[in-house]
Amino acid sequence: MLSYDHSDIAMKTFHVLAAACGLLVVAAGPALAATADVRAEVVFDHPEKFTDAKDEFIPTEVGSTALLNNLRDYLLREARLYVPEGWKLTIVFTDVDLAGDFEPWRGAQWADVRVIKSIYPPHFKFSFTLADATGRVIRQGKEDLLDQEFEMRLTLDHEDPLRYDKVVLQDWMRRQMRSVRPAPAAQ
């Protein structure tokens, strides 16, 4: 059993930093979008209905938004590695259930501690569309990703609270994009 027992100070610091990062992303977003090589779009459809995108047992909107923005930013960075230049991958999440869960019955101090156990695997439901530079749809589909063996995965950043979720999504993107190659340019 792997669990994270952070002190109240560490968790409050995380919440403040997550909120600050969220505000920074919102403020810098338009400027970055204008200059960035956009290869992906990530949409969270009705995140208030997601199974578990919570920052604590009784979630805060700011904390939950920061977690989803963290996942979005990660997927946008990964798309630059796997999606050919000029192409666009659109992912629309309809449900998110992050790895781990909260166990407040352990005591009040556990209300903001996400416990990682094999009985709480990451689970993502989404649709996706991959379009080439001309806008032609190359691949599309619906996914229901559930990784029961997520604890066996190699993760390098042991401080990242979303490391298991990110590696599941990275593996999916790598598998989907493996066979995608842009057509050679006409000369």
Q: What pLDDT digit, counting tens, does each position of 99-112 carry?
A: 888 787 887 777 77
Alpha-carbon distance of 69 to 27, in angstroms, equals 13
Alpha-carbon distance of 162 to 54, in angstroms, equals 12
pLDDT-above-90 percentage for the chain: 42
Could you tell me which residues come within 8 angstroms of residue 131 by beta carbon, excluding any fewer than 6 positions away? 87, 88, 90, 137, 138
Beta bridge partners of 92: 43, 127
Which single residue is written with the structure tokens 């100070």? 9
Alpha-carbon distance of 42 to 11, in angstroms, equals 27
Taking 80 as the threshold, does the pLDDT of residue 15 lie above it?
no
Alpha-carbon distance of 141 to 40, in angstroms, equals 15
Average pLDDT, the chain: 79
Closest CA to 74 of 166, 175, 173, 174: 166
Dihedral pair phi/psi, residue 81, rounded to 5°: -85, -30
What confidence category does residue 41 fall into, taking pLDDT thresholds of 50, 70 and 90? Answer: very high
**Helix, strand, coil proportions of the chain in percent (round to 5)?**
40, 20, 35
